[in-house]
């Protein structure tokens, strides 16, 4: 159990203006709206403009989260940015965000945990906020359109761009992050990867000609893994806190595929109405997804003080992460 209660004080999200619909994709690859909708639940996704990078959306989401928390940028004591598409391999995107928000002399670092990134960062940030850092800004952001192969119909229909952010800080006892479950199984790493651009296969004419700068995925393997860990990781956080799935008001799953979410709901015997779904409008935004979905939930007015909320993510690693929160509603700025 946490030494002192830490929870979400404010939340924000930012997505690009530009919409890429299934009809648009029908013009690019051999696919159909009908195939994409029935296999994934996705209707459209947001795509960043050429001049926009991860930091742009991270800054926007973070600014909203800080305002929502009723704080000023100078109140932030640490920045953790989860991303697999940083502006550059280094410096950390968290440092770029820090500078643009005018935050001085606080630790800022990136965290790579694929689509589990936001929840991983939330778990790490919670520990930090229980220690020396009162207010921790946690961001999940990805610009997957930059690493998506728009000639590969099996992946290009899935991904989109966006950011979610949360400010963590002290909340009354009994509220906030009650339990987390983090895990990874590197033996499945090959199922979801960006082969080139790192130290193993630095960018070269050869890697580019082989299109290795784009996401490679074994869809069925990832699907099976996702369904399994959504159930097991959710059950683990609930058991840790002694809460039953029936007591949970909202499940905020990683938005990868409606069929994965439906399978999890089925396995947990929870009605779909308690799962937040926006994959139809944004596709899979990786580290951005859970923060964006939680922000929509909070702003919809459907979250009440004291509600139990489960965040559950899965993805590259293969890694997974869940968190059980008891929602603390400050309420002053939301809406």
284 is catalytic: yes
Burial class (CB in 10 A: 0-12, 13-18, 19+), 299: middle
214, 84 Cβ separation under 8 angstroms: no
The C-alpha atoms of residue 191 and residue 316 are separated, in whole angstroms, by 8
266 is catalytic: no
Binding residues vs ligand COA (CB under 6 A): 31, 35-36, 39-40, 115, 153-154, 157, 217, 219-220, 222-223, 226, 256-257, 284, 315
User: From the CB of 94, what's the least distance to ligand COA, in Å?
Assistant: 22
Q: What are the tokens at 220?
A: 């069925």
Minimum CB distance to ligand COA smaller for 157 or for 290: 157
Q: Where are the alpha helices (DSSP H) in the chain?
A: 22-26, 33-40, 54-68, 93-101, 117-129, 153-156, 205-209, 219-241, 258-268, 279-282, 289-299
Strand order of the β-sheet with 308-315 is: 176-184, 319-326, 308-315, 250-253
Using alpha carbons only, give the angle 226, 314, 224 rounded to the nearest 5 degrees: 15
User: From the CB of 226, what's the least distance to ligand COA, in Å?
Assistant: 6
238, 268 Cβ separation under 8 angstroms: no
Minimum CB distance to ligand COA smaller for 64 or for 191: 191
Which of 56, 135, 191, 254 does the annotation list as catalytic? 254
Minimum CB distance to ligand COA smaller for 126 or for 284: 284
292: left (phi over 0), alpha (psi -120 to 50) or beta: alpha
Q: What are the tokens at 186?
A: 């590197």
Minimum CB distance to ligand COA smaller for 224 or for 299: 224
| DSSP calls for 279-333 | HHHH-B-GGGHHHHHHHHHHHTT---TT-EEEEEEEETTTEEEEEEEE-----SS
81 is catalytic: no
Question: Can you tell me which residue has the tokens 């960062």?
Answer: 121
Question: What's the distance, CA 186 to chain centroid?
Answer: 20
Minimum CB distance to ligand COA smaller for 98 or for 155: 155
Minimum CB distance to ligand COA smaller for 257 or for 278: 257
Which of 22, 56, 95, 115 does the annotation list as catalytic? 115
Q: What are the tokens at 238?
A: 């609930």
Terminal CA-to-CA distance of the chain, rounded, Å? 32
User: From the CB of 113, what's the least distance to ligand COA, in Å?
Assistant: 11
Residue facing ligand COA at closest CB distance: 219
User: From the CB of 288, what's the least distance to ligand COA, in Å?
Assistant: 12
User: From the CB of 307, what's the least distance to ligand COA, in Å?
Assistant: 26
Minimum CB distance to ligand COA smaller for 39 or for 330: 39
User: From the CB of 78, what's the least distance to ligand COA, in Å?
Assistant: 26
Residue 127 CB coordination number (10 Å): 16
Q: What are the tokens at 239?
A: 């058991």
User: From the CB of 25, what's the least distance to ligand COA, in Å?
Assistant: 8
Q: Which residues are catalytic?
A: 115, 254, 284
């Amino acid at each position: 159990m946490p030494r002192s209660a830490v929870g979400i004080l404010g939340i924000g999200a930012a997505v690009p203006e530009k919409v890429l619909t299934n009809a648009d994709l029908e013009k690019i690859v051999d696919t159909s709206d009908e195939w994409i909708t029935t296999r994934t639940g996705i209707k459209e996704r947001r795509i960043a403009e050429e001049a926009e990078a991860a930091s742009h959306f991270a800054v926007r989401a973070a600014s909203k989260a800080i305002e929502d928390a009723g704080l000023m940028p100078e109140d932030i004591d640490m920045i953790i940015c989860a991303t697999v598409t940083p502006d550059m391999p280094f410096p950390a995107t968290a440092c770029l965000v820090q500078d643009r928000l005018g935050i001085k002399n606080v630790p800022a670092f990136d965290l790579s945990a694929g689509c589990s990134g936001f929840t991983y960062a939330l778990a790490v940030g919670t520990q930090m906020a229980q220690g020396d850092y009162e207010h921790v800004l946690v961001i999940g952001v990805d610009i997957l359109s930059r690493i998506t192969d728009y000639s590969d119909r099996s992946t290009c229909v899935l991904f989109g761009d966006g950011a979610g952010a949360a400010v963590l800080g002290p909340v009354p006892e009994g509220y906030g992050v009650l339990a987390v479950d983090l895990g990874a199984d590197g033996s499945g790493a090959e199922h979801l990867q960006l082969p080139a651009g790192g130290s193993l296969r630095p960018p070269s004419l050869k890697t580019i000609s082989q299109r290795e700068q784009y996401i490679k995925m074994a869809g069925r393997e990832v699907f099976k893994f996702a369904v399994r860990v959504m159930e097991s990781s959710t059950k683990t956080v609930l058991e840790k806190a002694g809460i039953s799935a029936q007591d949970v008001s909202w499940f905020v799953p990683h938005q990868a595929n409606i069929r994965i979410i439906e399978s999890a709901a089925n396995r947990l015997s929870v009605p779909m109405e308690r799962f937040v779904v926006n994959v139809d409008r944004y596709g899979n935004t990786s580290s951005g997804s859970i923060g964006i979905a939680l922000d929509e939930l909070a702003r919809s007015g459907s979250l009440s003080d004291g509600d139990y909320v489960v965040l559950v993510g899965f993805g590259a690693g293969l890694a997974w992460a869940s968190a059980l929160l008891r929602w603390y509603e400050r309420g002053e700025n939301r809406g």
